[in-house]
Structure 1
Amino acid sequence: MELNKNTVFITGGASGIGLALAGEFLKSENTVIICGRNPDKLELAKERYPSLYTIRCDVSKMSEVHQTLEEIKSEFDGLNILVNNAGIQYIFDFYEDENSIEKIDKEIDINFRAIVHLSKLFLPILNKAKEAAIINVSSFLGIVPKKSAPGYCATKAALHAFSKSLRYQLEDSSVKVFEIITPLVDTEMTRGREDDLKKITPESLAKEVFRSLKSDKLEIR
């Protein structure tokens, strides 16, 4: 797809993969809107990329998602790319951790349920564009899970299946559904992991994603 002069909305865009993707989109003369929960991180992102538009929004809270949607509709014309990037991961033992259910519920809310809601809410806008995209940031852990993060791995597996099904349903529309199946990326989420040498930078991932988007590679690994 064409990657210049689009209007792009990125969830979880204040750091890590989301911010790196925002930077790549900005290089190609796109209008980029990011959202995040932490106002300090949003401010730092704005300092790094002054042309960014920032919105404070917790995607697990539907009232804030609806408010963000209305703000985007009123302030920006022609939104045509939605990047579902926001995510969290908890490391825990499902049986031993007394808070395991609460942790999985939170992971489901942010890593899966929010993406389903955002996709549904933004599709009427995306469908108006000549060319549009939903880009879901998934993980190889949704395909090959690790034992220490049962909730995270399950939500990414669900997102992988949802992305494929939605892609099939929208194949006759102007909306393409991309899935970024990320490797181990050096972000706050992976900080402290022993296998640091295997990590790639968010910026390296973003560049590879851009090459794949340009060639319409719908499943990006």
Structure 2
Amino acid sequence: MDISGNTVFIPGATSGIGLALALQLHEKGNTVIIGGRRRGRLDEISATHPGLRTVEIDVTDPAAIRRASAEVIEEHPDLNVLVTMAGVMRVEDWTDPAGFMATAEETVTTNLLGTIRLIGAFIEHLRTRPTATIMTVSSGLAFAPLRATPTYNATKAAIHQLSESLRLQLVDTTVQVVELVPPAVRTDLVPGHRENESAMPLDDFADEVMTLIEAQPEAREIQVERVKFLRYGEARGDYDDVVAALNRRDRHTS
């Protein structure tokens, strides 16, 4: 993925990692469209950052994805980058049979089905562009599980394999598949996480991601240094130690 000269759509970028990357991509000379559910929040972003474009989208609603994708493609026919940022992270207790199912279903619908439906809505258009990128967003927890968030971990592992598989299918097309693999980052993904001192500061994460994109335009995965502890535990042979350390901290990790 080139660092500039793109038209980028980022659903789920009204806060946190998505908004931080949207602002940096815009500063690098990209046209950036932010997607989100709340019209008021989108209007607030437009007023604060006049160069950013916005569109309403709810990735849990297939009809909303179809409407938003048609709107984005019609208004921005040069669109060549999709970043599937939208996601939720919920704590679950699977020892309570009545206490986890709704949360698990919401997580799958948002994180996994939302990503699949977004890619499905844009892939035909992206294949018409001379160069294009689908950037998926997994997590360090795709590779080492946090006890408190079983379904989140599972959806992010699925996103990793989806990315690997799509890359194989699209190898002879103009579409590049890049997987962004965040560690714990100080955002509001879960309550209180912004104050989590063991998590990576948001601006530091966004800065490092942009540096990696610029330095490695052909990268298959964007991995900041901090996520490699989780990402490569199995390859290093210390997977059990990684899982133990992660869960001793008992922090909610994105």
The TM-score normalised by the length of structure 2 is 0.82
* Deviation for aligned residue 1:114: 1.1
Match of 2:251 in 1: none
- The structure carrying a bigger strand percent of its residues is 1
Q: Kindly, what percent of the aligned residue pairs are identical?
A: 34
Runs of 4+ in 1 over 3 A off after TM superposition: none
Question: d(CA) in 1 for partners of 2:39 and 2:98?
Answer: 31
Question: d(CA) in 2 for partners of 1:81 and 1:206?
Answer: 17
1:218 aligned to which of 202, 217, 220? 220
What amino acid maps onto 1:20 in structure 2? A
Match of 1:96 in 2: 96
In the TM superposition, what are the counterparts of 1:52-201 in structure 2 within 5 Å?
Answer: 52-96=52-96, 98-193=98-193, 196-201=196-201
What amino acid maps onto 1:11 in structure 2? P
Instruction: Determine if contact 1:32/1:52 at 8 Å carries over to the other structure.
Output: yes
* Deviation for aligned residue 1:193: 4.4
Moved more, 196-205 or 74-83: 196-205
Moved more, 173-182 or 190-199: 190-199
Q: Cα deviation per residue 1:129-177 (whole Å; 9 max; x = unaligned)? A: 1111011111101110111111111100111111111112112211111
When residues 101 and 168 of structure 1 are mapped into structure 2, their CA distance, relative to the original with a 3 A threshold, is same
Question: d(CA) in 1 for partners of 2:22 and 2:91?
Answer: 28
Question: d(CA) in 2 for partners of 1:47 and 1:121?
Answer: 28
Q: Cα deviation per residue 1:78-119 (whole Å; 9 max; x = unaligned)? A: 110000000001112012162411111110111011111111
Report the count of equivalent residues. 221
Q: Cα deviation per residue 1:24-62 (whole Å; 9 max; x = unaligned)? A: 110112111111112232223223311111111111101
Question: d(CA) in 2 for partners of 1:174 and 1:208?
Answer: 26
Instruction: Determine if contact 2:88/2:189 at 8 Å carries over to the other structure.
Output: yes
What amino acid maps onto 1:184 in structure 2? A
The TM-score normalised by the length of structure 1 is 0.94
Pick the structure with greater CA Rg: 2
Structure 1, unmatched stretches of 5+, are none
What amino acid maps onto 2:114 in structure 1? A
Match of 1:38 in 2: 38
Instruction: Determine if contact 1:34/1:52 at 8 Å carries over to the other structure.
Output: yes
Match of 1:26 in 2: 26
Moved more, 80-89 or 38-47: 38-47
Question: d(CA) in 2 for partners of 1:72 and 1:25?
Answer: 18
Question: d(CA) in 2 for partners of 1:138 and 1:94?
Answer: 22
- The SS at the match of 1:197 is coil
* Deviation for aligned residue 1:195: 7.9
RMSD: 1.6
